[in-house]
Amino acid sequence: MSVGIRYTQAEEQYIIRNKDGVPVGTKPHTHWTWWKVVLWALVALAGAVGWWMLAVVRGEYVNAIWFVVAAVCSYAIAYRFYALFIQRKIMKPDDTNATPAERVNNGQDFDLTDRRVLYGHHFAAIAGAGPLVGPVLAAQMGYLPGTIWIIVGVCLAGAVQDMLVLFFSMRRGGRSLGQMARDEIGPVGGTVAMIGVFVMLMIVLAVLALVCVNAMTGSPWSVFSIGCTILIALLMGCYLRFLRPGKVLEISIIGFALLILAIVAGSWVAQSPIADALSLSGTQLTVAVMVYGFLAAILPVWLLLTPRDYLSTFMKVGTIVILAVGIVVVQPLVRMASVSEFATNNAGPVFAGSLFPFLFITIACGALSGMHATVASGTTPKMIQKESQVRMIGYGGMLMESFVAIMALAAAVSLSTGTYFAMNTSQAGIIRLDTQAVADGVMVSTNANGELAVHLPGDSNIPAGASALTQAQVDQWNTEITAGAQSSASPEQKAIGNKAKSAAAAVAVTQLQVTDAQGNKPRVEWDQPVEGNLAATVQVWDQAALDQIAEDVGEQSIVSRTGGAPTLAVAMSNILHRIFGGKAMMGFWYHFAVMFEALFILSAVDAVTRVTRFQLSDAIGNWIPKFREPSWRPGAWLCTAIVVGSWGSLLLMGVTDPNGGIQTLFPLFGIANQLIAAIALMVCCVVVVRKGFVKWVWIPGIALAWDVSTTFTASWEKIFSDDPALGYWKQWSVANGKLAAGGVEGQALADLHATVRNTFIQGSLSIAFLVMSAWVLVTAIMRVIKTLRTHDTSTSEDPYQPSDYYAPSGFLATKLEKKIEAEYLEVGDPKLLIGHAEVKK
Amino acid sequence: MMLLTAIAEVEAKPKRSCCIRRAWRSCCWFLREASGQNAYAHYLARWELEHPGEEPLGEREFWRMRMGEHAAEGCC
């Protein structure tokens, strides 16, 4: 055997060798030693303290560091114990069996990839804007429900789904989820699942793009810096194509430097005369995003898609590290209540609906996300080295994404409750609340700068100059805001509109039936940083606070910037400027945060557009074969136009929705995403039963049951609820009633027509989703019953093929694994060792 | 740019050295692998094994062929 490598007798008995004596794996050989027991006891203890501080201790503001402690300890325990348990009971990885990468080993898609590198690839592919947006929106219910769902959900559902789908796909040569559904459930259910996934993807894209558009509306700085990312990507593409092919790292570093420059330059642009030309309305930006999506999908990938992906990966890792450092070092205090009043009623202004089921569809990525199943089947399984690495990549990758979600949540809830709601309530919602404030007799006064202060009826020290808020004042705000939002508005009109927005919002938040961490009614409050002194802040309130925040972060207005991205950006800027750069850098950090979210979203928009375009071409190709030819331009353009038109029209609907697109569309997005998860989990359950592990079907089963109960309840409420805030069809009939009654004209009439149209589409989509998912669920259950009755455990797994390859299983190789790796370097197949870290050229 | 020359240097002369250097080298290796920069080197190694004696694609042609095929994946 090999030269120079000596195993002890104990070590040798743990090594698995194939018939040629080549090592291919190790037998499980963990021994509990006293220090391991102590270590895990300490982890459990620290986790318990973290949860205790978050969930039980009240009175003082909670320190955000406890989010990190509770999350990390829970993840460690789940990874070490639950994931291992699933591995032993269901997956039973067999390292003597070759993986698809070893079998095919073509150096292209089937490529043996170092486990740590593959972990990075997999994480970069699953993580995007989702875990940053959902938790921010769900914060209206308080921080605790979201935290529990993100951490418990990922351990019991999200990571389980990702890991099982990855494993099952790996055993089937890397087949896609849709194909596995057809193979396992049957052709009819599988086809319905594929169509369902297509329609759901359109909604997902529309809502992601809406988040992006909302973050750019009326913000010349953001429009400039995000526009620059496209130019930078083009530049990188040309560099890699013509100047220095293959020098990916150097061009990524150059691209990153240019990105930073684009953010800095954005502040100059925002103060220059061209700012006005870049201050675009939602509709203009919608058209821009659609044109971009179309071009990105038909241009060659090397020009735009690939280089932009390098950029977004760089930003992804950089941002997550920075955010973690910020939360650990600054340790912001949590200002939001642990469980707010909106957890139990439908009055929440961010989205309607109570905790069950709406929390669980709002926070998808980070806890459980169906989109991941498309990555976990198809790409990653073709690159994995050994079956025993699936736990680390599938389960571990999802834990990291969940950690991102927790940090986004921790950052968002460190904003004052009033600020949070002023940013996340739609314009229509603000005016409604103001009208209510008039009825409640709210008093207002103005300071020397003409900025409005709010005084509630019971307040003790109402200044002498205060007067009751009048409906005329509210109507004037409404007129000014509407005028300022027109594409044709002059800079003066825009400025007046922005002032009116912050005044209206400052009043509106006091009318929300909600309390903050101290049990007080929400007020907009901002600790304005003082230039040159990091420790000092000046507290400002109400309209002055909203105007000040906008000025500090370099925006024209931060009111009604729904979608979650701007909220997270303000929160991040508020945390990060205390470590990096002080007050002068607040604008930079805000636009840094907005840019990376936009970058993630645009990556998803064009990549998914491209993929679905190919699927559509294939489907049409069943009738008109010419569509299958990838080189036939008119066909490709037509299919791309159909795909862009589908999500683009939904996006336009969201942007122009009178009630604010996020409020109405986000639940649909959440339902769609979670229904894809339901389909993935159904496939997992069927596979587990067909493998003969009926006893363990509860493992994917609890995740499926929870997911189905939340998504079906949410769909049901969206279709049948009597509350117009919640039910699409109720809203539709109310608006129709108003139209029939007549007497409405002007903008209000247009709004009513828009409401009728939008709720009709949204309601129909809800029904379609529900019917399709129910169909897949029923066919899956029938399949399970049939399997149980016939004991047919025939499998669609690829037949066993002996492995001739060795690689360690976990992140860090053990001493024994290092020795085996060294032996394999000498005795192993050179073709399988291409790309190995230790192989010298 | 300093970082780039450093990466190039490490590539040029791998030698046994202290743990900081080893860590730095692993880090560079990771970045090159993760970014796909090593793809051409892998292709050459594979070509040598599978088609000994034949002429492989030049670096430029290789990248031209490779960059045409990969579409990025996006997620939530």
Q: What is the mean pLDDT of residues A74-82?
A: 98
Give the pLDDT of residue B17: 63
Give the pLDDT of residue A545: 95
Other CB atoms within a 10 A radius of the CB of residue A810 amount to 13
Give the pLDDT of residue A328: 94
Subunit contact B67:A607, Cβ cutoff 8 A? no
A265-276 pLDDT, tens digit each: 999 999 999 988
Backbone phi, psi, residue A148, to 5°: -60, -45
Subunit contact B39:A246, Cβ cutoff 8 A? yes
User: Contact at 8 Å (CB) between A685 and A673?
Assistant: no
B18 vs chain A: nearest CA distance in angstroms?
A: 17
Name which of A569, A673, A567, A592 is nearest A126 in CA terms: A673
**Of the candidates A108, A245, A605, which has its C-beta nearest B63's C-beta?**
A245
Residue of A nearest to B32 (CA): A249
Give the pLDDT of residue B4: 54
User: What is the C-alpha to C-alpha distance for residues A401 and A124, in angstroms, rounded to an integer?
Assistant: 9
Structural tokens at position A331:
């340790």
User: What predicted TM-score, i.e. pTM, was given to this entire model?
Assistant: 0.93
Mutate to test the interface with B, among A114, A117, A608, A610 (most CBs of B within 10 A): A117
Give the pLDDT of residue A129: 87
The DSSP code sequence of B33-65 is HHHTTTHHHHHHHHHHHHSTTSPPPPHHHHHHH
User: Contact at 8 Å (CB) between A570 and A558?
Assistant: yes
User: Contact at 8 Å (CB) between A142 and A343?
Assistant: yes
Mutate to test the interface with B, among A301, A365, A601 (most CBs of B within 10 A): A301
User: Contact at 8 Å (CB) between A710 and A667?
Assistant: no
Torsion (CA) A827, A833, A834, A835 in degrees, nearest 10: -130
What are the residue ranges spanned by the domains of chain B?
1-35, 38-69
Give the pLDDT of residue A234: 95
Subunit contact B72:A603, Cβ cutoff 8 A? yes
Helix (H, G, I), strand (E, B) or coil at A696: helix
Q: Is A512 a residue whose pLDDT tops 60?
A: yes
Subunit contact A248:B36, Cβ cutoff 8 A? yes
User: What is the C-alpha to C-alpha distance for residues A513 and A348, in angstroms, rounded to an integer?
Assistant: 9
Q: E strands along A633-711, which residues?
A: none
Subunit contact A129:B76, Cβ cutoff 8 A? yes
User: What is the C-alpha to C-alpha distance for residues A547 and A542, in angstroms, rounded to an integer?
Assistant: 9
A376 vs chain B: nearest CA distance in angstroms?
A: 11
Contacts of A361 in chain B (CB under 8 A): none
- Residue A325: enclosing H or E segment and its boundaries? helix A305-330
Beta carbons within 8 Å of A222's beta carbon, 6+ residues apart: A215, A216, A266, A591, A594, A595, A598
3-state secondary structure A385-432: CCHHHHHHHHHHHHHHHHHHHHHHHHHHCCCCHHHHHHHHCCHHHHHH
Of the listed ranges A113-117, A578-582, A819-823, B2-6, the least confidently predicted one is B2-6
Subunit contact A130:B75, Cβ cutoff 8 A? yes
Helix (H, G, I), strand (E, B) or coil at A528: strand
Give the pLDDT of residue A619: 83
Give the pLDDT of residue B63: 87
Mean residue pLDDT across chain A? 91
B→A contacts (Cβ < 8 Å), by residue, are 3-4, 7, 14, 26, 29-43, 45-46, 49-50, 59-60, 62-64, 67-76
A354 vs chain B: nearest CA distance in angstroms?
A: 24
Structural tokens at position A345:
């009623």
Other CB atoms within a 10 A radius of the CB of residue A162 amount to 31
**Of the candidates B26, B35, B71, which has its C-beta nearest A248's C-beta?**
B35
User: What is the C-alpha to C-alpha distance for residues A782 and A182, in angstroms, rounded to an integer?
Assistant: 14
Q: Which is more confident, A617 or B11?
A: A617
Q: Which residue has the tokens 């940090």?
A: A407
Subunit contact B72:A309, Cβ cutoff 8 A? yes
A535-557 pLDDT, tens digit each: 788 899 999 999 999 999 999 99
**Of the candidates B33, B37, B76, which has its C-beta nearest A673's C-beta?**
B76
Sign of the CA dihedral with A629 first, then A634, A639, and A644 last:
positive
Structural tokens at position A566:
């701007």
Residue of B nearest to A606 (CA): B74
A404-459 pLDDT, tens digit each: 999 999 999 999 999 999 999 999 999 999 999 999 989 999 988 889 999 988 88
H helices then E strands: how many in chain B? Answer: 4, 0
Q: Is A809 a residue whose pLDDT tops 90?
A: yes
A449 vs chain B: nearest CA distance in angstroms?
A: 44
User: What is the C-alpha to C-alpha distance for residues A406 and A20, in angstroms, rounded to an integer?
Assistant: 48
Structural tokens at position A439:
């009825």
Contacts of B29 in chain A (CB under 8 A): 837
Q: Is B14 a residue whose pLDDT tops 80?
A: no
Strands A525-530 and A533-541: antiparallel
Q: Which residue has the tokens 């006091």?
A: A510
Residue of B nearest to A241 (CA): B64
Subunit contact A246:B62, Cβ cutoff 8 A? yes
Mutate to test the interface with B, among A115, A248, A313 (most CBs of B within 10 A): A248
Structural tokens at position A812:
């860090």
B5 vs chain A: nearest CA distance in angstroms?
A: 10
Upper half-sphere CA count for residue A271 (Cβ side, 13 Å)? 7
Torsion (CA) A12, A15, A18, A19 in degrees, nearest 10: 20
Give the pLDDT of residue B6: 53
User: What is the C-alpha to C-alpha distance for residues A773 and A361, in angstroms, rounded to an integer?
Assistant: 15
Q: Which residues of A315-349 are buried (b: 16+ CB within 10 A; e: fewer)?
A: bbeebbebbeebbeebebebbbbbebbbbebbebb
**Of the candidates A120, A204, A374, which has its C-beta nearest B34's C-beta?**
A120
Contacts of A605 in chain B (CB under 8 A): 74
Interface A:B, Cβ pairs < 8 A: 126
DSSP state of A97: B
Q: Which is more confident, A340 or A488?
A: A340
Q: Is A585 a residue whose pLDDT tops 70?
A: yes
**Of the candidates A302, A364, A608, which has its C-beta nearest B67's C-beta?**
A302
H helices then E strands: how many in chain A? Answer: 33, 9
User: What is the C-alpha to C-alpha distance for residues A480 and A491, in angstroms, rounded to an integer?
Assistant: 13
Contacts of A371 in chain B (CB under 8 A): 75-76
**Of the candidates B30, B46, B64, which has its C-beta nearest A245's C-beta?**
B64
Contacts of A249 in chain B (CB under 8 A): 4, 7, 31-32, 35, 37
Q: Is B8 a residue whose pLDDT tops 60?
A: no
Helix (H, G, I), strand (E, B) or coil at A208: helix
User: What is the C-alpha to C-alpha distance for residues A350 and A347, in angstroms, rounded to an integer?
Assistant: 9
User: Contact at 8 Å (CB) between A364 and A132?
Assistant: no
Rama region for A339: left / alpha / beta (φ>0; ψ in -120 to 50; rest): beta
**Of the candidates B42, B70, B75, which has its C-beta nearest A125's C-beta?**
B75
Give the pLDDT band (50/70/90) at residue A20.
very high
User: ω before A457 within 30° of 0 (cis)?
Assistant: no
Give the pLDDT band (50/70/90) at residue A796.
confident
**Of the candidates B49, B62, B67, which has its C-beta nearest A306's C-beta?**
B67
Name which of A781, A691, A615 is nearest A171 in CA terms: A691
- Residue A541: enclosing H or E segment and its boundaries? strand A533-541
Q: Is A839 a residue whose pLDDT tops 80?
A: no
Beta carbons within 8 Å of A4's beta carbon, 6+ residues apart: none
Type of residue found at A785: I
User: What is the C-alpha to C-alpha distance for residues A765 and A202, in angstroms, rounded to an integer?
Assistant: 11
User: Contact at 8 Å (CB) between A572 and A321?
Assistant: no
Q: What is the mean pLDDT of residues A780-806?
A: 89
A563-581 pLDDT, tens digit each: 999 999 999 999 999 998 8
A755 vs chain B: nearest CA distance in angstroms?
A: 28
Q: Which residue has the tokens 């229904």?
A: A675
Q: What is the mean pLDDT of residues A144-159?
A: 97
Backbone phi, psi, residue A793, to 5°: -105, 30
Beta carbons within 8 Å of A361's beta carbon, 6+ residues apart: A667, A670, A671, A673, A674, A710, A711, A714
User: Contact at 8 Å (CB) between A377 and A169?
Assistant: yes
Give the pLDDT of residue A255: 94
Subunit contact A247:B37, Cβ cutoff 8 A? yes
Helix (H, G, I), strand (E, B) or coil at B4: helix
Contacts of B60 in chain A (CB under 8 A): 245
Name which of A352, A361, A310 is nearest A157 in CA terms: A361
Subunit contact B75:A128, Cβ cutoff 8 A? yes
User: What is the C-alpha to C-alpha distance for residues A117 and A119, in angstroms, rounded to an integer?
Assistant: 5
The DSSP code sequence of A211-268 is HHHHHHTT-HHHHHHHHHHHHHHHHHHHIIIIISTT-HHHHHHHHHHHHHHHHHHHHH
Q: What is the mean pLDDT of residues A125-130?
A: 87
Give the pLDDT of residue A841: 44
Contacts of A613 in chain B (CB under 8 A): none
Give the pLDDT band (50/70/90) at residue B16.
low
Structural tokens at position A15:
């090594």
Q: What is the mean pLDDT of residues A663-676?
A: 88
Name which of A508, A321, A333 is nearest A415 in CA terms: A333
Q: What is the mean pLDDT of residues A753-780?
A: 92
The contacts found for B23-28 with CB under 8 angstroms, 24 or more apart, are B26/A837
ipTM of the complex: 0.84
Give the pLDDT of residue B1: 45
Residue of B nearest to A297 (CA): B71
**Of the candidates B32, B42, B59, which has its C-beta nearest A249's C-beta?**
B32
**Of the candidates A126, A253, A608, which has its C-beta nearest B3's C-beta?**
A253
Distance of CA A358 to the CA centre of its chain: 16
Structural tokens at position A57:
């201790």
Contacts of B4 in chain A (CB under 8 A): 249-250, 253
Contacts of A305 in chain B (CB under 8 A): 71-72
Give the pLDDT of residue A258: 96
User: Contact at 8 Å (CB) between A802 and A189?
Assistant: no
Name which of A722, A618, A35 is nearest A352 in CA terms: A722
Sign of the CA dihedral with A417 first, then A523, A213, and A655 last:
positive
Give the pLDDT band (50/70/90) at residue A1.
very low
Subunit contact B74:A253, Cβ cutoff 8 A? no
Subunit contact B50:A831, Cβ cutoff 8 A? yes
B43-61 pLDDT, tens digit each: 999 998 889 888 999 888 8
User: What is the C-alpha to C-alpha distance for residues A644 and A284, in angstroms, rounded to an integer?
Assistant: 16
> In chain A, what percentage of residues exceed pLDDT 90?
67
